[in-house]
Amino acid sequence: MEVEQLHEFILEATKANEILGSSVIQSLWSGYGSINRYDLEGSDYTSVIVKHVKPDQGAHPRGWNTDLSHQRKLKSYQVELHWYESRNQCSKALYARVPFCLAAKNEDNEVLMVLEDLDASGFERRRSFVNEQEWQACVRWLAAFHAENLNASISGLWETGTYWHLETRPDELERMDDPSLKKAASSIDRKLKDSEFLTLVHGDAKLANFCFSSDGSDVAAVDFQYVGGGCGMKDLAYFVGSCFRDEEAEEMEEEVLAYYFCQMKIFLEKIDNPISLEEIEQDWRPLYRVAWADFHRFMKGWSPGHWKLSDYSERVTREVIESLREGNA
């Protein structure tokens, strides 16, 4: 899409008179496009965020520039577009705050999304570490998102959410130098898939994908490329791993789980969902560590020297492997 066409699309979507200027927020992974802020005049929106995907199968930061990787990325942006369009059509009350999508377009693998600027809507803070109020705001968002999407349709989304799920990561599994984990990988994956209660998972619920209100008491989430079906513990374990290191993650485990299920009960009641929180917790709580081991499996193949491959993660994974082995005995 040429610049003039892009500007026309933005003006039509926002009903603005003029684009005053633009700035790059960030480039997309592996050179697949960019996210930009456009300042507007004559619109209800003073600015919007435009996610513009122009695939370029260039150099991957870690060398994973295979055709499989390329196709996975292409699908991820189409999934994100579909998810925003579906979200816009939802008529029920929603408590997990996300940016509103003003317009979207997909032509020849070039994807364009014009999104609400969360900075302008009061979610202007980003955090690289969190205090208690801030991590609770993120966990509360996850509880709301999972509650309002229990048994939701996955049509147009990933059948199994998250960017690391086993079926899309055969190269990383093959590369992994851990025979016992490699052997247990499919059992770990199956344990998560066999959960009695499935929801939509964000799929990349790291701290960097949460936008905070000025006082840190509320959040909105972005980046829905890997939204799809799954057990909510996959998001929760991944989030904890993104903002707490080793000993702290271990120390926080029970507190985070307790807060998550407490908040889920509140949101289930708000949306009049008759599913019992006790039944969900009984099913999901033991899967927290299984979800942790699942991500550890991906990291060991993708980046063997990564700091997230901690003693805690290794110990949890060994415990999960042993538990699965005993369960199959």
Tell me the CATH number at 88.
Answer: 3.30.200.20
pLDDT of residue 246: 84
* Residue ranges making up the domain that contains 55: 1-121
Instruction: Give pLDDT, residue 69.
Output: 83
Q: Are residues 14 and 98 in the same domain?
A: yes
Instruction: Supply 129's token pair.
Output: 């570490």
* 221 in the same domain as 142: yes
Q: Which residue has the tokens 């520039």?
A: 65
CB of 278 closer than 8 Å to CB of 262 = no
Q: Supply the pLDDT for residue 329.
A: 38
Closest CA to 309 of 298, 300, 318: 300
Domain boundary among 88, 121, 154: 121
Last residue of a domain, one of 93, 121, 149: 121
Residue 51 has pLDDT above 50, yes or no: yes
Q: Residue 274 to residues 78, 91, 144, 196: CA-CA distances in angstroms?
A: 33, 19, 15, 15
Q: How confident is the model at residue 13 (pLDDT cuts 50, 70, 90)?
A: very high
54 vs 46, residue with greater confidence:
46
Strand partners, 24: 36
User: What is the pLDDT, as a whole number, of residue 94?
Assistant: 87
Contacts of 183 (CB under 8 A, 6+ apart): none
Give the CA count within 13 Å in the CB-facing half-sphere of 320: 30
Give the count of domains, the chain.
2
pLDDT digit string, tens, across residues 100-150: 999 999 988 899 999 999 999 999 999 999 999 999 999 999 999 999 999
Same domain, 140 and 175: yes
CA dihedral 49→115→270→91, nearest 10 degrees, is 170
Q: Are residues 189 and 94 in the same domain?
A: no
Note the pLDDT of residue 67. Answer: 78
**SS3 string of the chain?**
CCHHHHHHHHHHHHCCCEEEEEEEEEECHHHCEEEEEEEEECCCCCEEEEEEECCCCCCCCCCCCCHHHHHHHHHHHHHHHHHHHHHHHCCCCCCCCCCCEEEEEEECCEEEEEEECCCCCCCCECCCCCCHHHHHHHHHHHHHHHHHCCCCCCCCCECCCCCCCHHHCHHHHHHCCCHHHHHHHHHHHHHHHCCCCCEEECCCCCHHHEEECCCCCCEEECCCCCCEEECCHHHHHHHHHHHCCHHHHHHHHHHHHHHHHHHHHHHHHHCCCCCCHHHHHHHHCCHHHHHHHHHHHHHHHHCCCCCCCCHHHHHHHHHHHHHHHHHCC
Q: How far apart are CA 259 and CA 144, in angstroms?
A: 12
Q: Residue 40 pairs with which residues in a beta bridge?
A: 19
Answer yes or no: do 99 and 242 share one domain.
no
- Tell me: do 62 and 128 sit in the same domain: no
* 146 and 280, same domain (yes or no): yes
Termini Cα distance of the chain = 58
Strands 110-116 and 101-107: antiparallel
CATH code of residue 249 = 3.90.1200.10
Say yes or no: 97 and 147 in one domain: no
Q: Output the pLDDT for position 327.
A: 79
Average pLDDT over residues 8-19: 97
Q: Is 157 left (phi over 0), alpha (psi -120 to 50) or beta?
A: beta
Indicate if the pLDDT at residue 58 is higher than 80. Answer: no
pLDDT level of residue 89 (50, 70, 90 thresholds): confident
Residue 91: the pLDDT is 66
Nearest to 86 by CA among 74, 73, 100, 106: 100
Question: Any bridge partners for residue 23, and if so which?
Answer: 37
Each residue of 165-206: pLDDT tens digit?
A: 999 999 999 999 999 999 999 999 999 999 999 999 999 999
- Report the mean per-residue pLDDT for the chain: 93
Last residue of a domain, one of 121, 154, 188: 121
Average of pLDDT values for 39-54?
Answer: 96
pTM equals 0.94
The more confidently predicted of residues 209 and 62 is: 209
Compute how many other C-beta atoms are within 10 angstroms of the C-beta atom of residue 329: 5
- For the segment 23-48, the average pLDDT, to the nearest whole number, is 93
Residues 169 and 91 in one domain: no
Q: Distance between CA 259 and CA 281 in Å, rounded?
A: 12
What is the pLDDT, as a whole number, of residue 1?
A: 76
Sheet with 18-27: strands ordered across = 18-27, 33-41, 47-53, 110-116, 101-107
Q: What is the pLDDT of residue 65?
A: 62
Domain shared by 106 and 40, yes or no: yes
pLDDT tens readout for residues 238-250: 999 999 988 899 9
Same domain as 105, residue 32: yes
Token representation of residue 99: 């940016």
The pLDDT tens digits for 212-240 are: 999 999 999 999 999 999 999 999 999 99
Average pLDDT of the residues in 287-301 = 97
In a shared domain, residues 101 and 140? no
